[in-house]
Amino acid sequence: MSERFASVDAVRVGLRAVDYLADDSIAGVTFLADRLEKPVMIEGPAGTGKTQLAKSVAEMLGARLIRLQCYEGLDEAKALYEWNYKKQLLRIQAEDEGASWDDVQNDIFSDEFLLERPLLEAIRAEDPVVLLIDEVDRVEMETEALLLEILSDYQVSIPELGTLTANQIPLVFLTSNNTRELSEALKRRCLFLHLDYPTMEREKEIVLTKVPDINDHLADQVARIVRSIRTMELKKHPSVSETLDWARTLLILGKNSISEEDANQTLNILLKYQSDIEKVSKDFSTNSAAHFAT
């Protein structure tokens, strides 16, 4: 299979072209995932750009993104495949009485009656695809085991059809918020990437990239205030996407800089628990000079 990326720098430049600011570790792991034909396991807090990385790689490559959103109770029928039972029943009912069961069985267990779910769709795809298995830590161990065959050999076993081998090796990204420990067997099959909240300087750069009309001073204030909020003990820290929403909100309100009043009036954009809003607002009042110095 042809290589997708010429170098680590090519990955970094390509991601920047689609407004994803990748550091050396992100670009390096993405490059090696292609060369080694291995999935990437991305762990870290919610809202640090794990899902967006897979989306941005797909956009950069002009590839189709196939996403499996994991949740408790996800089973083979939703992740891999199932048979279209209603269509099979109609086919049986339409068959002549003289037809043998073997003939009917060979017919109804064919591609025409197969409903592809994300994993099988990615395995059988002819066009370039990026497979995103999002929040894999939400599934049970049984469903996690289902991924092992696919991620080891890029093939799927279907009793009625046999073993289906991938037409190509897709780029695969798995994300985890660390709500439970994943199996060693699954981790062994993946390259590892940890994404934490960005540094203040990088978050400012992200704001300037994603919110093009913002001025440098306001972007700097946004990044500094968010950084200070993340040092507090809260139920939920602001994600990068919430930082961007806050920056856009301030622009919509016509703000060129942030006052304590501006921050307090828009804290519900950054924070989603009333107890967190009250705690941060109190800190703003106590340390106003540090937060809102011009």
Decide if 48 contacts 239 (C-beta within 8 A).
yes
Specify the 3-state DSSP secondary structure of 215: coil
For residue range 179-193, list pLDDT tens digits in order. Answer: 888 889 999 999 999
* 8-state DSSP, 137: G
Of the candidates 213, 212, 290, 233, the one whose C-alpha atom is nearest the C-alpha of residue 258 is: 290
Confidence band (pLDDT; 50, 70, 90) for 140? confident
* pLDDT in the model for residue 87: 80
Residue 4: phi and psi, rounded to 5, are: -80, -35
Read off the pLDDT of residues 42-88 as tens digits, 9 standing for 90 and up.
999 888 999 999 999 999 999 999 999 999 989 888 888 888 888 87
Is the pLDDT score of 1 beyond 60? Answer: no
Q: Residue 231 gets which letter from DSSP? A: T
Q: Tell me which amino acid residue 199 is.
A: T
**Could you tell me the pTM of the whole model?**
0.85
Domain ranges within the chain, ordered by starting residue: 8-80+121-194, 81-116, 200-292
8-80+121-194 belongs to CATH 3.40.50.300: yes
- The two structure tokens encoding residue 111: 């591609």
Rounded Cα distance, 8 and 170, in Å:
19
pLDDT at position 104 over 90? no
Structure tokens at 112: 């025409």
pLDDT score at 294: 59
